[in-house]
Structure 1
């Protein structure tokens, strides 16, 4: 079900290598180790072990071997109860420092590539609920997706300080006969068999302030996260350029030269390569500004004037004209609409 993408796409995706020690640590619970797998040992040379990234196919092979060694088909869902890696803790700290639950979830989805490049989080507004959909990138192993699902459920539960039932339901690609065991590992939410993986959360709690909020620490954590995000490898040139533009927003200089130099290419070569991708540098800057504007206005933490300067506009009127072009409404009208919807 998850392995229906083109094989060529798999080879292009590189995962954070910290997942290897995470899986190894989890196997200790079963009195097993990846050293018991000749396949894994042959796969990773000393130089590869020192790399910060591994190919998606290699990561999937490790998951397959770990599940076999543990003799546990629910290893992915169980792993969050055994060990929590540092990138997850860093992401959790950023979420916990956010002003409210909605802002925390926005930060989770925004910075999640720091945790995994094989799954993209998408936040979808439903009638009375909000869905966090786990979108596979390439062909990730099912155990990897379920590990992420478990970690996210745990993190969201930590945000629900008053135990009001923030996570109401979890959708999994599992038969009905396995749902009781899955729900037990997820500590409470109803588990439902579906054609995708997602968490359903209560929209009524999105505006709830977090007692853990820290307005002094949050911008510093966010800055660190943005720097990490911009330096993640990406086989997708467009995505790589957009990440670097995001890092430069607010600096007053989002020139193609400032993006091209760290990539060791000339601005002219960068523009030519983007043209081959049917886009342009200016179009990507526009897209990044639009995405950031919608997110910042929805979070409700900054004034519209502050947002204009954060996005690198020379004045608020320029921002208003751009926002009208993007959405056919003014920033003020959009903020009013978002507030009424909440």
Structure 2
């Protein structure tokens, strides 16, 4: 009997495209060649089959000629790339708490991901495993996860964090320069796992961006997403369709059912079996996407209202205040204030 196809967050794919474009390469044809719908890049909760992701990494290496392209994630990725999980990380009181959230929600980031946080004498070890589905995962995916973790530490602390040691479960590459420049610490190749060793005082130090209220809010949404992802397949699939259709206006039940290749009656019955109605799912999807879109500074409130399928922006403002007790503009200021400050400090370094 075949097993269910494992998927990974499209955030990784968006970062690969950005890394290629930053190198002056055109990534537009890459998705078509691999049979991946380009529309997944604009879906905040888009998913890509794990094996397709592995093939994407391999093609990225081929067209760039750069075996260390996974390390480029340190320059292209921010916590917000992973929507609700990223925002929960940003709100954490310490790096240790932030990585604890990654461990808790890692299935959202990738069903084939295996991040382990362990306590060692004097330091914490973060080990990164990426398991293939039917195709063995490539080292670039583990490089990327490790580079992103280090970038997160540096971004959140506004410091040039140097790990105590970085290890890699692969032979030493011919060109060490990308690794020495990024990690700036002792390196060990041929190890049992990709891992970072980080000092305990660094991991346990308070973060200026800590916001317990927002962390709790984002934890709730991440927990809800994970629960649906694991136990409510029809709800999860319908939510993905809603995410795609909302920018075209408020989706009707018939449109969602058609996209899922089932009748309206079947969709309604299957959702009811999973304990939710179509209208409740639409409301929850809008509410969660609103938080994700507000974390993108380039989007105006009017544009966000349109992306959520509201014909009149005032309806969005009223709905958001009903959901969270404050206007969307005020929420955005609370979430992005620390982010803007951290970005300014990064640019000055």
TM-score (norm 2): 0.56
Q: Give a deviation string over 1:89-144, Cα, whole Å, max 9, x none.
A: 65444233222332222123222333222212111112222111112233322212
Identify the match of residue 212 of structure 2 among 209, 212, 215. 215
**SS of 1:15 mapped into structure 2:** strand
Within a 5 Å distance, the mapping from 1:46-61 to structure 2 comes to 52-61=46-55
Aligned to 1:243: none
Larger deviation: 107-116 or 63-72? 107-116
Aligned to 2:14: 21
1:151 Cα offset (Å): 0.5
8 Å CA contact 1:95, 1:107 repeated in 2: yes
Counterpart CA distance in 2 for 1:99 and 1:207 is 9
Larger deviation: 202-211 or 147-156? 202-211
1:76 Cα offset (Å): 0.7
Q: Give a deviation string over 1:36-63, Cα, whole Å, max 9, x none.
A: 55x8426236788898322222111111
Identify the match of residue 172 of structure 1 among 168, 174, 177. 168
1:145 Cα offset (Å): 1.7
Within a 5 Å distance, the mapping from 1:7-46 to structure 2 comes to 12-37=5-30, 40-41=32-33, 43-44=35-36
For the aligned residue pairs, the C-alpha RMSD in angstroms reads 3.4
CA shift in 2, pair 1:131/1:29, >3 Å: same
Within a 5 Å distance, the mapping from 1:306-325 to structure 2 comes to none
1:68 Cα offset (Å): 0.5
CA shift in 2, pair 1:179/1:34, >3 Å: closer
Aligned to 1:134: 128
Counterpart CA distance in 2 for 1:49 and 1:161 is 28
Whether 2:179 is the aligned partner of 1:183: answer: yes
Counterpart CA distance in 1 for 2:15 and 2:226 is 21
**SS of 1:135 mapped into structure 2:** strand
**SS of 1:216 mapped into structure 2:** helix
Unaligned runs of 5+ in 1: 1-7, 237-260, 267-342
CA shift in 2, pair 1:206/1:57, >3 Å: closer
8 Å CA contact 2:11, 2:82 repeated in 1: no
Within a 5 Å distance, the mapping from 1:1-342 to structure 2 comes to 12-37=5-30, 40-41=32-33, 43-44=35-36, 52-84=46-78, 86-88=80-82, 90-138=84-132, 139-161=136-158, 165=161, 167-178=163-174, 180-193=176-189, 194-232=191-229, 264=273
Counterpart CA distance in 2 for 1:85 and 1:159 is 9
1:65 Cα offset (Å): 0.9
CA shift in 2, pair 1:228/1:79, >3 Å: same
Counterpart CA distance in 1 for 2:40 and 2:203 is 42
CA shift in 2, pair 1:143/1:220, >3 Å: same
1:22 Cα offset (Å): 2.5
Counterpart CA distance in 2 for 1:208 and 1:72 is 36
TM-score (norm 1): 0.57
8 Å CA contact 1:92, 1:155 repeated in 2: no
**SS of 1:195 mapped into structure 2:** coil
